[in-house]
Structure 1
Amino acid sequence: MSAGRLRAMALPAATVLVGCAGAAVVLAADPTSDAGFPLPPCPVKFLTGLDCPGCGVTRMIYSLLHGDVLAALHYNAAAMLFIPFFLWTWGAWVLGRWRGRRVTTWEQWRWSPHAALVLIAVWAVIRNLPFPPFESLYV
């Protein structure tokens, strides 16, 4: 393997290490209970009492690390749906660095940024609706 490729892979390797460290923090913190050390609250929820589109992601990740997919879906179903797209983007970035040229992903599709923003906005609204079945989405 050439020195240029090794240098190109340093940043992706660092993202894996940071991701593993973040997973370790989430596992140690146990955000689903008071057993671990406290993590900072969501500022939107703290200030408004409303769930933002990202509320519950830390608990979702904790649940996924424990293999509890149903609990993860409860904490943030929209983020669960975005995980394959995030992995696709990361994988394309790594492959692009390996090959030395950019790899096309869903982010370059003309409609994808708009669709993602609409989905996030809809999720932000429906998870805060105070009547069934939407009240069960509130975390």
Structure 2
Amino acid sequence: MLRTNSLLIKIGIPIAILTLGIFYYYFNPTSFAFTPQCPFHFLTGFHCPGCGSQRAFHEILHGNIWTGLKHNFLILLAFLVIGYKLYVSFINKSTSKKNNNLLHHNSTPWIILAIVLGFWILRNIPLEPFLILAP
């Protein structure tokens, strides 16, 4: 049973990512009402750390990197973490020696949490230098 679950994860996650990628490539979240809207922004009027991620992902898939980042700069952190995780996974499979993974360090989740909370606060300040952080 454990082996079956592992195989499902190894096949299911890439299929889900590919399906979402195809979906966001062909459907612009600003043009279609069936894409999920942010409930936090709807209820409070403030931007959450994830606001603009769908639009950012759509723009990045179309090669508009800067436009995508302007929708949500935090998506860069997500890509860096995912890319690093894939890199470490690949390196550990290709060598017999296990490399240290920085994501498994005790302070890493706290650093990421501080970055996300800081981004969340700064993107809701309605002053000129911080307006670029709002989607």
TM-score band, normalised by the shorter chain?
0.7 to 0.9
Distance 1:109 1:56 in 2: 29
Q: Cα offset for 1:106?
A: 2.3
Q: CA RMSD in A?
A: 2.9
For 1:20, the equivalent position in structure 2 comes to: 18
Structure 1 gap segments, 5+ residues each? none
Q: Cα offset for 1:7?
A: 8.3
Of residues 105, 121, 126, the one that matches 2:117 is 121
Distance 1:16 1:104 in 2: 25
Structure 2 gap segments, 5+ residues each? none
Task: Please tell me the residue identity of whatever aligns with 1:22.
Answer: L
Instruction: Tell me, yes or no, if the aligned pair for 1:45 and 1:51 is still in contact at 8 Å.
Output: yes
1:71 match: secondary structure: helix
Q: TM-score normalized by structure 1?
A: 0.78
Instruction: Tell me, yes or no, if the aligned pair for 1:8 and 1:98 is still in contact at 8 Å.
Output: no
Q: Segments of 4+ in structure 1 off by > 4 A?
A: 6-10, 90-99
Verify: 1:65 aligned to 2:64, yes or no.
Answer: no
Of residues 70, 82, 85, the one that matches 2:81 is 85
Q: TM-score normalized by structure 2?
A: 0.81
Matched length:
131
